[in-house]
Structure 1
Amino acid sequence: MTTAAEFVAVSRHFGDFTAVDSLDLAIREGALTTLLGPSGCGKTTSLRMLAGYIEPSAGKIMIGGKDHTDAPPEKRDLGMVFQSYALFPHMTVAGNVGFGLKLRKVPRAERARRVAEALELVGLGHLGDRRPKALSGGQQQRVALARAIAIRPRLLLLDEPLSNLDARLRVQMRGEIRRIQAETGLTVVLVTHDQEEALEMSDHMVVMNAGRVMQQGAPDELFPAPANRFVAEFLGYENFLTLPERGLVTVRPELLTVAPGDVGGGETAVSATVRSIAYRGVEVRVALDATTGAGGATTPLVASLRGDALTPEDRAALHPGGRVTVSARPDHLVSLAG
């Protein structure tokens, strides 16, 4: 694995607040890496330190194997797309895309060629003469992306680039960014708080909290096996219970089985009371209170059942107050560190 950039024991303090705490992280060349986590977890601060807009309080920022900790942004050979796009309203689309090339004193003919190439790549080759105000939000986002790509950066940094778009455009742009990254071979670092976005787009996911890496890995490795409760909750897991032989475990709603009758017992089967039912076409979501401890202690669970697989007996038991048994295969339980 070739490393495009690396954080080596990087910390950043703002007064008494530690935004990033001894971060060690390698960014793989040619991959799309996401920094994922809630607001205040340190992901944007980390991206801005990589870009050179914020200085680390400690540690090193390595780019291309060289120490760039003290290098200004313009010496790092990076492209960045901000949440607000930051387009120049008085310039045309082509002028915006070519701005970085002009600063780098790229000859006019070469500049025009690379601007046209970047605009074609993002599907806006026909809009080079327009002004940003004449474009939709999705088109403005593409212009910002083309501007960053045109300079052919060593790394492309994306700071919540889709958050200002509506839901349909967000989904569309996820695919577009992934396509562009695959076609160009760019190394991309994407900051997001959206776990679906990260799962869909990433080659490598880095889940952060309180300035530290909680877990990292490929989406298909990380999602089925969260390391701790924070990661599990952030990735959308809803069920957490403590079993005598396993300790704290989680299990996804679609992997739970709900059977009529209060038969309970065993490591992976517990008695429960139906709290509510929500019919969602193919899916039936059942909220339950499971008896999991001594003295009648209960734990809330959510099961996602296939409506077409329910028998008449199942349906008769699925009403508020109904007594059922909830179970899961042992291999579907994920043990958590806490």
Structure 2
Amino acid sequence: MTSAAEFVGVSQKFGDFTAVDDLSLTIAEGRLTTLLGPSGCGKTTSLRMLAGYSRPTAGTIRIAGRDCTRVPPERRDLGMVFQSYALFPHMTVADNVGYGLKLRRVAKEERRRRVMETLELVGLAHLAGNRPKKLSGGQQQRVALARAIAIRPKLLLLDEPLSNLDARLRVQMRAEIRRIQAETGLTVVLVTHDQDEALEMSDDMVLMRAGRVMQQGPPREVFPAPANRFVAEFLGYENFLADAEGRTLTVRPENLRVAAGAADADAPAGPGGLLLRGTVAHIAYRGADLLVTVDATDDTGAAVRLLCDVRGGAAEGLSPGGEVTVDAREGALVRLPD
């Protein structure tokens, strides 16, 4: 697989604080890669170094095989969309989209053609003459995206571009960005703290913590097999307990089944499965499902609190203080490394 960009032993320090710590990472060409992690994990600093807005303390950054560590941003042939869309309020939509082309001295007729072609791609050709203040947040986001795409960059960098949109628009724009990336074949690097966004949009996801990569791979490989507890917690694995050998297990709330009564607590759970006896501590109504909190004891005798996502019909007979059995099939359990 061809490399669009590479970080080779890259570090970034601000005084005594290490924002990025010896990062080595390959961004594959023609794919959408997400840098995912909590605030302060180094994902935005990494993106800014790739864009050329921040110079690494150590290491090398290559774009299309070329050492760009000290190359200024305007000579890296990149497009970038920030959290704030940074549109020029006095310009029309078309002029905003064509701004980068004008700076590159693209001929007027060619510029007009590429602007309209790009606005067609994002579904805004009919608003070419409008000014940004007349647009919705989602439309402004598309204009910013079109401006970045119009220059036909080697890399498109997106820094939490959906964070200012409401929940419904965020979902729509995830699909829109994915469609545009697929249609254009662009290499996209997207920074986000939203695991759902990363899982839905990524060809490749990179989970970061304290400036280091914790795990990298396609969502379908990373999600069912988190490399450590940090990754598991970040991806929504909320239940952690030990098996009889003392190894740490984790299981997602939707993969736990809860049944009223303790009569079957000694029944076999199947090879490698989980079966525990417990007491309901709390039930939270969430519309289509219930979040049932169960206090139980794991196979080592340690007290554990389990969160179980139960569909309405399966919650019959459950009530706070009631005895229950909690079980999960072997395939739903993830055994984490020590």
TM norm. shorter chain > 0.5 = yes
Task: Give me the whole-angstrom Cα distance separating, in 1, the residues matched to 2:246 and 2:170.
Answer: 40
User: Residue in 2 aligned with 1:285?
Assistant: 291
Decide whether the 8 Å contact of 2:258 with 2:327 is kept in 1: yes
Task: Give me the whole-angstrom Cα distance separating, in 2, the residues matched to 1:99 and 1:293.
Answer: 64
Task: Give me the whole-angstrom Cα distance separating, in 2, the residues matched to 1:246 and 1:199.
Answer: 31
Q: Match for 1:302 among 293, 299, 307?
A: 307
Decide whether the 8 Å contact of 2:297 with 2:304 is kept in 1: yes
User: Residue in 2 aligned with 1:260?
Assistant: 260
Q: Which amino acid aligns with 1:278?
A: A
Deviation at 1:281, TM superposition (A): 4.2
Q: Which amino acid aligns with 1:305?
A: V
Task: Give me the whole-angstrom Cα distance separating, in 2, the residues matched to 1:73 and 1:330.
Answer: 50
Task: Give me the whole-angstrom Cα distance separating, in 1, the residues matched to 2:293 and 2:80.
Answer: 44
Listed as ranges, the matches of 1:110-125 within 5 Å are: 110-125=110-125
Whether 1:159 aligns to 2:164 is no
Task: Name the TM-score, length of structure 1 as normaliser.
Answer: 0.94
Task: Give me the whole-angstrom Cα distance separating, in 2, the residues matched to 1:246 and 1:26.
Answer: 36
User: Residue in 1 aligned with 2:316?
Assistant: 315
Deviation at 1:246, TM superposition (A): 5.7
CA displacement 1:146-202 (0-9 Å, x = unmatched): 000000000000000000111111111111101100110000000000111111111
Using the TM superposition, name which of 238-247 and 73-82 deviates more.
Answer: 238-247
Deviation at 1:137, TM superposition (A): 1.1
| Percent of residue pairs bearing the same amino acid type | 71
Task: Give me the whole-angstrom Cα distance separating, in 2, the residues matched to 1:229 and 1:44.
Answer: 23
Q: Which runs of 5+ in 2 are unaligned?
A: none
Whether 1:275 aligns to 2:276 is no
Task: Give me the whole-angstrom Cα distance separating, in 2, the residues matched to 1:192 and 1:283.
Answer: 28
User: Residue in 2 aligned with 1:205?
Assistant: 205
Q: Secondary structure at the match of 2:124?
A: coil
User: Residue in 2 aligned with 1:138?
Assistant: 138
Using the TM superposition, name which of 323-332 and 226-235 deviates more.
Answer: 323-332
Using the TM superposition, name which of 23-32 and 281-290 deviates more.
Answer: 281-290
Task: Give me the whole-angstrom Cα distance separating, in 2, the residues matched to 1:325 and 1:168.
Answer: 37
Task: Give me the whole-angstrom Cα distance separating, in 1, the residues matched to 2:119 and 2:222.
Answer: 35
Q: Which amino acid aligns with 1:174?
A: R
Using the TM superposition, name which of 280-289 and 181-190 deviates more.
Answer: 280-289
CA displacement 1:106-165 (0-9 Å, x = unmatched): 111110100111111111101111111121111111110000000000000000000011
Q: Which amino acid aligns with 1:177?
A: I
Count of residues in Structure 1 that have an aligned counterpart in Structure 2: 332
Listed as ranges, the matches of 1:89-104 within 5 Å are: 89-104=89-104
Using the TM superposition, name which of 18-27 and 249-258 deviates more.
Answer: 249-258
Decide whether the 8 Å contact of 1:11 with 1:19 is kept in 2: yes
Listed as ranges, the matches of 1:2-81 within 5 Å are: 2-81=2-81
Q: Which amino acid aligns with 1:315?
A: E
Deviation at 1:330, TM superposition (A): 2.1
Task: Give me the whole-angstrom Cα distance separating, in 2, the residues matched to 1:253 and 1:269.
Answer: 14
User: Residue in 2 aligned with 1:191?
Assistant: 191
Query: What RMSD in Å do the two structures reach over aligned CA positions?
Result: 1.5
Task: Give me the whole-angstrom Cα distance separating, in 1, the residues matched to 2:337 and 2:18.
Answer: 24
Deviation at 1:243, TM superposition (A): 1.5
Decide whether the 8 Å contact of 2:244 with 2:299 is kept in 1: no
Decide whether the 8 Å contact of 2:44 with 2:191 is kept in 1: yes
CA displacement 1:283-336 (0-9 Å, x = unmatched): 232111111266x6411101122333x3xxx722x1111112212222221011
Q: Which amino acid aligns with 1:22?
A: D
Task: Give me the whole-angstrom Cα distance separating, in 1, the residues matched to 2:132 and 2:163.
Answer: 18
Q: Which amino acid aligns with 1:303?
A: C
Decide whether the 8 Å contact of 1:246 with 1:335 is kept in 2: no
Task: Give me the whole-angstrom Cα distance separating, in 2, the residues matched to 1:242 and 1:152.
Answer: 52
Task: Name the TM-score, length of structure 2 as normaliser.
Answer: 0.94
Deviation at 1:259, TM superposition (A): 2.8
